[in-house]
Amino acid sequence: MDSFTRKINNKWLFSIFTLSKLPSLWFWGISVDSFLPSGCKIALRYSWFTKNPFQSIYFSALSGAAELSTGLLVQRLALEKGNVSMLVVKAECYFTKKATGKILFFCDQGEDVEAAFQLLVKAGDTTQLVLQSIGKNEAGDEVARFSFTWALKKK
């Protein structure tokens, strides 16, 4: 297991990372449920910090958790390969059910991320990839589906 993966899976180190680099994620209490090169699961709970006036999780907290589930997969390889910048250039979302309780967002497209980096190394200076993150509640019902288009560019 690589160093980045070990650090992200360590609750204490992840908390320090979010507090220093992504304070809104720290404030919302977002945590890593599991992180492997093949996929990522991010947990978010309904709380005073994440609620909206409609007694559900605020869409921006849901978006942050969903983006993180895709972004960690991209960031792992961007750091490993070096001299690669990453940026979300498009985001789409669909909300299908009220988000309450614990929500798990997962992205299992690690192989697609690997392929995009191979293409970037072989073919050119830029590439884009679309990653999906699906959020489910504790009953296993889908509450939201996000699609993020990541742009990768050699520095």
- CA torsion angle 106 33 97 132 (round to 10): -10
Of 39, 71, 56, 52, give the one whose Cα is nearest residue 103. 56
- CA torsion angle 100 75 107 114 (round to 10): 180
CA distances, 67 to each of 30, 89, 118 (Å):
12, 12, 22
The tens digit of pLDDT for each residue in 50-78 reads 999 999 999 999 999 999 999 999 999 99
Whether the Cβ atoms of residue 69 and residue 110 lie closer than 8 Å to each other:
no
The ranges assigned to domains in the chain are 3-154
The tens digit of pLDDT for each residue in 79-119 reads 988 888 999 999 999 999 999 999 999 999 999 999 999 98
Backbone angles phi, psi at 39, to 5 degrees: -175, 165
Residue type, 47: S
What pLDDT, on a 0 to 100 scale, did the predictor assign at position 1? Answer: 64
Whether the Cβ atoms of residue 39 and residue 110 lie closer than 8 Å to each other:
yes
Q: Would the pTM of this model clear 0.75, i.e. be above it?
A: yes
The fourth-level CATH superfamily of domain 3-154 is: Hotdog Thioesterase (3.10.129.10)
